[in-house]
Amino acid sequence: MTVRNGREFLSIPGPTTIPDDVLNAMHRQPVDIYTGPLIALTAQLQDDLRRIFRTDARTYLYAANGHGAWEAALTNVLSKGQKVLVLESGRFAAGWGRMASMLGLEVEAMPGDWRSAVEPAALEARLRTDIGGEIAAILIVQVDTASSVVNDIPAIRKAMNSAGHGALLLVDVIASLATMPFEMDEWGVDVGVAGAQKGLMSPPGLSFVAAGKKAVAAHDKADLRTLYWDWTARENEFHYYKYCGTPPEHLLFALRKAIDMLFEEGLEAVFERHRLLAEAVRRAVDTWSADGGLEFNIADPDARADSVTTVLLGKDGDAGRLLAYCTERCGVTLGSGIGDLSDKAFRIAHMGHLNAPMILGTLGVIEMALAALGVAHKPGGVQAAIDWLAQSVPA
């Protein structure tokens, strides 16, 4: 028996649900790539991305997923043999570091335990020992989608300033942009890297880089530059060069609509919606975990992201069975654990085009699965989520 037929929920941390209006915006024939409205569209999107990154910096759009934007960020500001410091707090910064290593950069990791945010004090201590200023760039993610930690980017910048260190600060906001505040200029971030398919509610395949003044100065000297990613080539006024070839038109049409929707709601309201729904998830997980059994992966409540929550199952938990039940019986696809967490954890995504029924439905299915599979948990998680939302969203 299943209760699956109906609208299915994809509750993984990217790609996220694409609004119907965004899907429909792509349902049209291509337009000319050399003249006409497409040229204005690119300029508008570059401006709107500045509004979202909260910066006056240059912005670039790539026909690539987030990994492409990682490569764009590294190759535009660094030279072979330079050192980067990777601040690990889960899988993603480490992956960016592996890419750096293959590009010929020297990579030093500040390892994390996947259960907590990067310690600004530890960074400051490390930077104080870098007397010769060998570290050219620091790589960090704002939200790590594997561990579901949120790093305190302003505190990271403060630690760099306290140590008097001049490295570039490169921040991956792929799983956080348009789900929580990010203030590129105010926080002193030199390069921001984002993707379309998470908070920006668009199809995968587009990614973005914002490059501040210091990054542009480093770009002038960088020798890892290649034509496809190169910012200078993309500054050419001939529109074709802005994408180093044919623009990904339909993805741009989709992004245009998605950004319109975000601005119509208002970014502050978008953040608040994410915060409320994320807290509903946390109330549910808190209840399920009350007698042991389940557990938050991120111990410190202040370091839990508003876009995704990683939940650990107890010793006897079998994440594969739980995920299969949710998908096959109920039509809700949750995120699986990543890396070491693969059989012991599941992830609930709560970012992008998401409202109360979607999150309550997802939580309801998880609680149903815990009961059906006999996984030890304290019932009442969904009720706790409802109570939180009822109190936070007044009549």
Question: Which residues sit at the interface with ligand PLP, rule CB under 6 A?
Answer: 14, 65-67, 92, 141, 144-145, 172, 174-175, 195, 204
Question: Which CB, 287 or 297, lies closer to ligand PLP?
Answer: 297
Question: Which CB, 172 or 295, lies closer to ligand PLP?
Answer: 172
Question: Which CB, 66 or 381, lies closer to ligand PLP?
Answer: 66
**Do residues 291 and 64 touch, judged by C-beta distance below 8 A?**
no
Q: How far is the CB of 307 from ligand PLP (least distance, A)?
A: 8
Q: How far is the CB of 236 from ligand PLP (least distance, A)?
A: 26
**Minimal CB distance residue for ligand PLP:** 66
Alpha-carbon gap, residue 148 to 135, rounded angstroms: 27
Alpha-carbon gap, residue 295 to 285, rounded angstroms: 8
Q: How far is the CB of 105 from ligand PLP (least distance, A)?
A: 18
The DSSP H or E segment spanning 126 is helix 120-128
Alpha-carbon gap, residue 310 to 149, rounded angstroms: 9
Alpha-carbon gap, residue 185 to 159, rounded angstroms: 17
> Coil, helix or strand for 232?
helix
Q: How far is the CB of 203 from ligand PLP (least distance, A)?
A: 11
Q: Are strands 143-144 and 295-296 parallel, antiparallel or unpaired?
A: unpaired
Question: Which CB, 195 or 293, lies closer to ligand PLP?
Answer: 195
Alpha-carbon gap, residue 199 to 307, rounded angstroms: 8
Q: How far is the CB of 62 from ligand PLP (least distance, A)?
A: 11
Q: How far is the CB of 206 from ligand PLP (least distance, A)?
A: 9
Question: Which CB, 67 or 256, lies closer to ligand PLP?
Answer: 67
Question: Which CB, 252 or 365, lies closer to ligand PLP?
Answer: 252
The two three-digit tokens of residue 305, written as one number: 């992201």
Is the bond preceding 204 in cis, omega lying within 30 degrees of 0?
A: no
Question: Which CB, 55 or 65, lies closer to ligand PLP?
Answer: 65
The two three-digit tokens of residue 185, written as one number: 């200029």
> Coil, helix or strand for 135?
strand
Alpha-carbon gap, residue 208 to 197, rounded angstroms: 11
Residue 223 buriedness (CB in 10 A; 0-12 / 13-18 / 19+): exposed
Q: How far is the CB of 153 from ligand PLP (least distance, A)?
A: 13
